[in-house]
Amino acid sequence: MTKISLQDQYSPQSACFGCGPVNSKGLRIKSIVEGDQVVADWVPEPHHEAFPGMLNGGIMGSLLDCHSNWTAAWHLMKQGGAASPPCTVTADYAIKLLRPTPTHGPVHLVAKVVESKEDRVVIEATLTAGGKVCATCRGTFVAVKPGHPAYHRW
C-alpha cells in the first residue's frame, strides 16, 4: 500500500524549497507517517552535492528541517484532534554531520517527537545513507498564531 505524504495530503499547492510539491526547483520531500515516526526517502541530484559523490551539508539541513517541521505539525494535529495540521515554523535546528554522505543512492530520514507542549514540539531526526547514519538533527517547531506572517501560508 502506498501511503500519501503529509505534504501531498495537507499542502499540495506549497512551493516551499524543501517540501513544496509544486516547487520544481525544490527538494520536494515526501514525509510519510509510519507508526509514531515520520519517514522519507529522497534521491539526491548532482547539483545537491558538496563535491562529486558527497551530499552538501546545507541540503541535509534543509531536508531535516522541513521533514521535522512536518513531523511537528502532524503531532500537533493529532494531539489537538484537528482535521488538518497547524501552521508550524522552525524556531531552531541543530545539525551534526557525522561522516561524509554518499549520493549514489537515496537518503532516508526518520523523525520523532521528543518533547511536546501545546504549541511547540522538539523533534529529533536522522539522515541515513549508504547504510549509516550520516547526520542528525534536533529542532524546535512552533505553531504560529493569527497575525504571524506564516499563519495559513502553507
Alpha carbon distance, N-terminus to C-terminus of the chain: 27
17-36 footprint of its own copies as x/- string (CB under 8 A): xx----xxxxx---------
Q: Which is nearer to its own copies, 40 or 63 (CB)?
A: 63
The answer to whether 74 touches 10, Cβ cutoff 8 Å, is no
Residue 51 binds its own copies (CB under 8 A): yes
Residue 59 binds its own copies (CB under 8 A): yes
31-42 in b/e form (b: 16+ CB < 10 A) is: bbbeeeebbbeb
Alpha helices in the chain (DSSP H): 6-10, 57-80
Residue 132 binds its own copies (CB under 8 A): no
Q: Which is nearer to its own copies, 113 or 135 (CB)?
A: 135
Q: Give the count of beta carbons closer than 10 Å to the beta carbon of residue 94.
A: 11
- Near its own copies by CB under 8 A: residue from 8, 10, 37, 57: 57
86-115 footprint of its own copies as x/- string (CB under 8 A): ---xxxxxxxxx--x---------------
Q: How far is residue 149 from each of residues 26, 88, 91, 139, measured CA to CA in Å?
A: 21, 11, 14, 20
- Near its own copies by CB under 8 A: residue from 39, 48, 86, 127: 48
Q: What's the half-sphere exposure (Cβ side, CA atoms, 13 Å) at 143?
A: 18
- Residue carrying the nine cell digits 508550524: 88
Residue 70 binds its own copies (CB under 8 A): no
Q: Which is nearer to its own copies, 74 or 154 (CB)?
A: 154
What does the binding site for its own copies look like in residue numbers (CB under 8 A)?
14-18, 23-27, 46-54, 56-59, 61-63, 65-66, 89-97, 100, 148-150, 153-154
